[in-house]
Amino acid sequence: MISVAVVLGSDSDKAVYERVKNVLSALGVEFERRIISAHRTPDMLKEYVVGAESRGVKLFIAAAGMSAALPGVIASHTSLPVIGVPAVSASPVLGFDSILSILQMPPGVPVACVGVNGGENAALLAVSILALGDASLKKRLRAYREEMRRKVEDKDRRFQEE
């Protein structure tokens, strides 16, 4: 059953998507994916969010750049958890635009913001939430983190021996 909806504001955010996909797939979490723009296709977005909630989707991961309204507009249409990823890719100069647009939501409509281009962490945050009601997923998440620790230890060992 699909529990996570991954929404990109534009196809220029696909690099973020790849990281989300890799983690969710590795941990056995089913998800669906969409490109829907908060500003260009607002009606499609509302329809999708409401429909996804009624089909049983449990949380949203939304990646967007610039004036990144996507995660906030999703949160305006649902009280499910919404995880926002500031996407910083093509635009040459700034980066605070997407961070602050996603982070500084008004009281009452929360978005859980992760770091710039933080697709992996968005997925892991989603997994940590779903794992609250899924003991088997919790086990896989712990194994993932254990594996991450082992990788650091391997790099540390090699670095000491270099």
CB of 104 to a copy of itself, least distance (A): 4
Radius of gyration of the chain (CA): 17
Residues 118-137 that bind a copy of itself (CB under 8 A): 118, 120-122, 124-125, 128-133
Query: SS3 sequence, 28-93?
Result: CCCEEEEECCCCCCHHHHHHHHHHHHHCCCCEEEEEECCCCCHHHHHHHHCCCCEEEEECCCCCCC
Size of site (CB under 8 A) for a copy of itself: 83
Decide: is 85 part of the binding site for a copy of itself (CB under 8 A). no
Rounded CA-CA distance 13/88 in Å is: 8
Decide: is 76 part of the binding site for a copy of itself (CB under 8 A). yes
* Closest C-alpha to 75, from 59, 99, 55, 97: 59
Question: Left, alpha or beta for 28 (phi > 0: left; psi -120 to 50: alpha)?
Answer: left
Decide: is 56 part of the binding site for a copy of itself (CB under 8 A). no
CB of 52 to a copy of itself, least distance (A): 13
Decide: is 44 part of the binding site for a copy of itself (CB under 8 A). yes
Decide: is 52 part of the binding site for a copy of itself (CB under 8 A). no
CB of 28 to a copy of itself, least distance (A): 15
CB of 95 to a copy of itself, least distance (A): 3
Question: Can you say how many angstroms the Cα of residue 40 is from the centroid of all Cα atoms in its chain?
Answer: 21
Decide: is 27 part of the binding site for a copy of itself (CB under 8 A). no
Residue of 59, 61, 62, 63 that binds a copy of itself (CB under 8 A): 59
What is the identity of the amino acid at 120? Answer: E
CB of 13 to a copy of itself, least distance (A): 10
